[in-house]
Chain A
């Protein structure tokens, strides 16, 4: 599954980083704590969060995530979008609450990766 396949599933908009829409989605992780994501998310994961500032993009880039989904209709900060564009990491924004986003990802076959401990 590619990032672009998530757009309809999550009814979301691409805020920035469209260059990465063909990234393969290998798993998923949900958290609003940056160090927690650092420790447990894996390369190629979709990250669901309600944080929408530029440090989110920095973390996503460092751990080579597939994309970031900002849930709950939270506005993305302009600096986050700028950075996502620069790094080519898709920053997606969904009006759906985080719970619903994760549920739909699960139904679409995305799982937490084994060993995300």
Chain B
């Protein structure tokens, strides 16, 4: 099963809709609450990074019986120093965005922490792509 949502930079009205849609879909197909929560968290952080830092992008999700794969591809400024961007507390969010409570510099660390696989690639002046995989806990196993 596949889901795709366009995300527009600067659109704080629609922000969070892609992640919310993913969460609803996962609930409908019977994914356990904890896995759904993790997927929603990482999808939201990826979506918000496009809204805050990029021009436009697409969030696409592939749901299989074993895992949820989330891809966030955007056109935007890209990230010059990825290890630096991955550090907790590092943010280039402007003041008016920080006032809304974004810009803690926790989004990328959250994505890494709540996914089982995490990969980020970026080309300065072009855009950024993030790939995350969340394994679906099979019955009897524990995460």
Give residues in A with beta carbon < 8 Å to B. 32-36, 38-39, 43, 49, 51, 53-56, 58-59, 61-64, 79
Q: How far is the CA of A49 from the CA of B101 in the complex (A)?
A: 10
Stretch in B14-22, B58-66, B67-75, B116-124 with 4+ CB within 8 Å of A: B14-22
Q: How far is the CA of A106 from the CA of B20 in the complex (A)?
A: 31
Number of A-B residue pairs, CB cutoff 8 Å, is: 69
Give residues in B with beta carbon < 8 Å to A. 12-13, 15-16, 19-20, 23, 33, 37, 40-41, 44-45, 48, 100-102, 104-107, 109-110, 113
Task: Say yes or no: A39 contacts B110, CB within 8 Å.
Answer: yes
Q: How far is the CA of A56 from the CA of B113 in the complex (A)?
A: 22
Q: How far is the CA of A115 from the CA of B113 in the complex (A)?
A: 14
Task: Say yes or no: A55 contacts B15, CB within 8 Å.
Answer: yes
Q: When the two chains form the complex, which single residue of A49, A55, A62 contacts B23, counting CB atoms closer than 8 Å?
A: A62
Task: Say yes or no: A79 contacts B33, CB within 8 Å.
Answer: no
Q: How far is the CA of A55 from the CA of B100 in the complex (A)?
A: 8
Q: When the two chains form the complex, which single residue of A35, A56, A62, A64 contacts B106, counting CB atoms closer than 8 Å?
A: A35
Closest 9 CB pairs of A and B: A58-B16, A35-B106, A33-B104, A62-B40, A34-B101, A51-B101, A35-B104, A39-B110, A35-B107
Task: Say yes or no: A58 contacts B44, CB within 8 Å.
Answer: yes
Task: Say yes or no: A62 contacts B102, CB within 8 Å.
Answer: no
Q: How far is the CA of A53 from the CA of B101 in the complex (A)?
A: 10
| Interchain Cβ contacts under 8 Å between A and B, 20 examples | A32-B101, A34-B100, A34-B101, A34-B104, A35-B102, A35-B104, A36-B104, A38-B44, A38-B106, A51-B101, A53-B100, A54-B12, A55-B16, A55-B100, A58-B19, A59-B44, A61-B23, A62-B37, A62-B44, A64-B37
Task: Say yes or no: A43 contacts B20, CB within 8 Å.
Answer: no
User: B37: which A residues are within 8 A, CB to CB?
Assistant: 43, 62-64
User: A56: which B residues are within 8 A, CB to CB?
Assistant: 101
In the complex, what's the smallest C-beta–C-beta distance from A27 to chain B, in angstroms?
Answer: 14
Q: How far is the CA of A61 from the CA of B15 in the complex (A)?
A: 13
Task: A35-B106, A38-B41 are known; give 11 further A-B pairs, CB within 8 A.
Answer: A34-B102, A34-B104, A35-B102, A38-B45, A43-B33, A53-B12, A53-B100, A58-B44, A59-B16, A59-B44, A64-B33
